[in-house]
Amino acid sequence: MFAFRRFLVLNRLWIGLLLIVLGVYAGFALTWWLGWLPIFIGALMIFAHFFVGPVTLLQRFIENGDVEGAQKLIASVKYPNLLYKPIRSAYYMMKANFSTMNEDFDTAEAELRKGIASGGADKDFQGTAMLQLGSLAYKKGNMKEAYEHLRKAVKAGLPDADSSATAYLQLSSICMQRRDFRGTKFYYARAKAAKPKSEQIVEQLNEMKKYISRIPG
């Protein structure tokens, strides 16, 4: 079933054009009562090709761990500015994720900013994008920018407990580097209160707890 859907999505531009040609032929050769239907379906498929793209297939590729296939799918989008705004935001988010995986942080940051600038995304996207921008700035050693982005992320709202805990943990770490012990404890408490489920984040919380216990006062 997925293979058939994949075929349709990846080839709907040409299928749509073929349907329009067949509809026009049927209209002239037979009757327009018969020809309008393939023309209408063809027009919808062409519309979907440019305004929806193949982004809807990405989830299956990611679930199957086919990162290479997902990257090829993203690369097949030739006119991202034509994508419907929420889909365009998701498109840039995925591109940023792949760039981050390849440790191309500058490109990842540029893609995230395009996603934010495209508009039309919900608050969860805005928060997640800011979280990623903050994490990228943190990795690049730009703590001032990381702090600003992470603050914006938690203010915009994050979609799950793990994301919230990650943002607060990074804020706590930045405060510790600044020797802002009050801020360190405050953000650590918020990270803990988020009740993350990821083992990795729980482990980071436990590690941070060791540092917190050494803070005077």
pLDDT at 124: 64
- Which tokens sit at 153? 């992320």
> What percentage of the chain exceeds 90 in pLDDT?
16
Residue with tokens 């050693």, as numbered in its chain? 141
Q: Yes or no: say if 132 and 112 are a contact pair by the CB < 8 Å rule.
A: yes
Does any domain span residue 43? yes
Distance CA 172, CA 163 (A): 14
For the chain, the domain total comes to 1
Structural domain includes residue 31 = yes
Q: Supply the range of the domain harboring residue 32.
A: 1-51
Is residue 129 in a domain? no
Residue 24 belongs to some domain of the structure? yes
Q: Are 176 and 184 in contact (CB under 8 A)?
A: yes
Tokens representing 110 are: 């540029």
156 part of a folded domain: no
**Mean pLDDT (whole number) for 136-155:** 89
Considering the domain boundaries, does residue 32 fall inside one?
Answer: yes
What are the tens digits of pLDDT across the range 55-99?
778 777 777 777 777 788 888 888 888 888 888 888 888 888 888
pLDDT at site 91: 85
Q: Does a structural domain hold residue 14? A: yes
Q: Which of 11-15, 20-24, 41-45, 113-117 has the lowest mean pLDDT?
A: 113-117
Report pTM. Answer: 0.71
Per-residue model confidence as pLDDT tens digits over 96-126: 888 877 777 888 888 888 877 776 556 667 8
**Is residue 123 a part of any domain in this protein?**
no
